[in-house]
Amino acid sequence: MRRVHHPWPAARDSRKELASPTKLLDIDKVFKALADPSRRHLLDLLHRENGQTLTALCECMDMTRQAVTQHLQQLEEANLVAIVWQGREKLHYLNPVPLHEIHERWIEKFERSRLFALRELKKNLEGDDDDKT
């Protein structure tokens, strides 16, 4: 068996962070669902008051019931909305987990370096008290 030499070992180590192809497809569904302003409005409505029926959501949307249903289906497919049946009522709940995963994967890692840079800038501007002790 031949071993392949990788000239960039750091890149090879960073593969631990990469998501599986299935996970990337899930994230793609979330981004696609979030791309539409009407779906984002539905998520805002559920954030304000979780566990709403289709009828309640339709009252706050300027579109047909069928259009709201289609948007909710896309949000369900992206796992951003969970459904709970209560008797004959179908209640819609916001599922924040995919949003948190996006935050961890795409936002948090960029924030770390900026926060570190701001901390270093503050230390330089105010003077480093650690050297005095």
Q: What's 36's domain CATH number?
A: 1.10.10.10
Does the model's pTM come out above 0.85?
no
The secondary structure of residue 7, as a DSSP letter, is S
> What is the structure's pLDDT at 25?
67
Q: How confident is the model at residue 45 (pLDDT cuts 50, 70, 90)?
A: very high
Gap between the terminal Cα atoms of the chain: 57
Q: Residue 27 belongs to what domain range?
A: 20-95
Q: What percent of the chain has pLDDT over 70?
A: 77
> What is the structure's pLDDT at 22?
58
In a domain, 131, yes or no: no
Q: Which of 92, 98, 103 is nearest to 48 (CA)?
A: 92
Cβ atoms of residues 26 and 62 within 8 Å:
no
In a domain, 90, yes or no: yes
Helix/strand/coil for 64: coil
How many structural domains compose the chain?
1
In a domain, 128, yes or no: no
